[in-house]
Structure 1
């Protein structure tokens, strides 16, 4: 039975391009959890600490991604009640709480100081509460970074998976949205500027909201669920 589970797991890893390479972030996790509080008082000091002794830009980017996930809480009250808040990098870092724009802006600000080329992207996302309808307005922000002459896609907000319990908010790290495959990313994210699809063949917004695309998205989510079940 165990052998069968391993075979199924291998097939799923091969079939989902976003999972085709198993990423080991144990060292990154240890590093970001041990960042001294004294180094997080402002964006510049945090950026310099996250960059310290890193061997590659990919490692720096992963540290930034997981530090934000670990330390910035999602502001559900602002999101659910459509409130206006300061989403600047400084405010997000000070408050330790924000919505997607705050996450994306802070990620870019740290990347800028770390000398990693980064862009904030706005667009349509099939996230919390999405029920298959065509969205009339943009509703999300994420990032792209340039690593070794290639642009990569990142969604820090969705990297932090929230679990609400009787004891309060819990969190899980999700590495999928760190350098995700554009062919998988497009199932849930459609940028206003279509060049940020990073696809060889760009799709239209009608295709993004089509029944065919929605079916592909559901299949992807189901495959992820199966991987979680098998690996538990």
Structure 2
């Protein structure tokens, strides 16, 4: 092998090594972080111990926040009975100032030790651990949409989630929803969809007390949010629903049939249900816009639309 061939070979080898290292240098090794968290204890007596392990194993703010989120969603179960353990309500600001910090510390301690919480426990633990790591963050209170009855109702401050700043950029987190779902009992289904969720997807189900905490470039009023339909498909945004724009449908004003238009690149089988077995409807995909019409029946209250037999959109019938 000549010297020139050797130099060319080494140059190519160096390039290959750089390309292989690219995801670790410029991206995040989430698999390593999540695997490390799996080795942590399932509960802690002292939050200092958990914080110390995070400081030992992770270095950047991104790694630490990922580790915090991962531990919480994998080890804390949602239990509505926790609302009975502490009084989260305050009559006035004076009472709140006297009780809030004590309740917060008790909530965090119980979440760590017992592994059960409601949204306050999840969010407060996330906030406390970020604070201990020197990561700028804060709690967000606001409303959520999960059921037909949430469409069109007045704003309620019934949920809590988090905003944390990583490398100068604010991101949205909801460790409560990231841990699983509650349907009569807690169903553990850890997900990272609610880790740094894009604002245009987060707004489908979460509306903060302060509009700027949507992290959207333009403000959306509470009234507009309330009247949107439920968009169930995770990857679908509200912008993808071109018609109808309201989540409350009046069949009488549309002569008993309502036209729908949904931006979706894939061809899907569309069906609908008023609470009984789904019925398939003819749908046409025109350059990524799925168009279909649904005939309405008297006395119906809710409409659920399916894509490929999976719930996609929900509307309330006036």
1:130 to 1:64, Cα distance in 2 relative to 1, 3 A: farther
Deviations 1:173-225 (A, max 9, x none): 11110001011111111110111111110100011112xx325x2454779x9
Q: 1:134/1:71 Cα in 2 relative to 1: closer, same or farther (>3 Å)?
A: same
Query: Structure 1 regions of 5+ residues with no counterpart?
Result: 1-22
Q: Give distance in 2, aligned partners of 1:96 and 1:70.
A: 10
Structure 1 counterpart of 2:300: none
* Residue of 169, 187, 195 corresponding to 2:212: 195
The structural deviation recorded for 1:51 is 2.7
Q: Which structure has the highest strand share of the two? A: 2
Distance, in Å, in 2 between the alignment partners of 1:151 and 1:158 is 19
Shift of 1:64: 0.5
Give the deviation of 1:48 after TM superposition: 1.8
Is 1:113 the counterpart of 2:132? The answer is yes
Aligned equivalents of 1:52 and 1:126: distance in 2? Answer: 39
| TM-score, normalised via structure 2 length | 0.55
Query: Contact between 1:124 and 1:135, CA under 8 Å: does it hold in 2?
Result: no
- Aligned counterparts of 1:194 and 1:113: Cα–Cα separation in 2: 27
Residue 115 (structure 1) shift: 1.1
CA shift, 1:76, in A, is 3.1
Tell me, what secondary structure is at the counterpart of 1:175?
Answer: coil
Taking a change above 3 Å as real, the CA distance of residues 27 and 135 of structure 1, as seen in their structure-2 partners, is farther
Supply the distance in 1 between the matched residues of 2:169 and 2:121 (Cα, whole angstroms).
Answer: 25
Deviation at 1:96, TM superposition (A): 1.4
8 Å CA contact 1:48, 1:114 repeated in 2: no
Per the TM alignment, residue 94 of structure 1 is displaced from its structure 2 partner at its CA by: 2.1
Please state if 1:47 is matched with 2:51.
Answer: yes
Determine the structure 2 residue equivalent to 1:173.
190
Higher relative contact order, structure no. (Cα contacts within 8 Å, ≥ 6 residues apart): 1
Equivalent position SS for 2:52: helix
* Aligned counterpart in structure 1 of residue 223 of structure 2, from 179, 191, 206: 206
Structure of greater Rg: 2
For residues 147 and 84 of structure 2, what CA distance do their matches in structure 1 show?
A: 17
Where structure 2 has 5 or more consecutive residues not aligned to the other structure, the ranges are: 1-27, 87-102, 237-263, 265-305, 311-318
Answer 1 or 2: which has greater helix percent. 1
Distance 1:136 1:48, change over 3 A: same
Of stretches 200-209 and 127-136 in structure 1, the one that deviates more from structure 2 is 127-136
Structure-2 change in CA distance of 1:47 and 1:134 (3 Å) = same
Superposition pairs of residues 76-155 of structure 1, within 5 angstroms: 76-78=80-82, 83-85=84-86, 88-127=107-146, 131-155=150-174
Query: What is the deviation of 1:59?
Result: 1.3
**2:128 match: secondary structure:** helix
State the superposition RMSD in angstroms: 3.0
Task: Determine which of 3, 6, 29 is the counterpart of 2:34.
Answer: 29
Question: Could you say what secondary structure the match of 2:180 adopts?
Answer: strand
**Segments of 4+ moved more than 4 angstroms:** 128-131, 219-223
Return the offset for 1:132.
2.2
In 2, Cα distance between equivalents of 1:35 and 1:130: 40
Deviation, structure 1 residue 33: 1.4
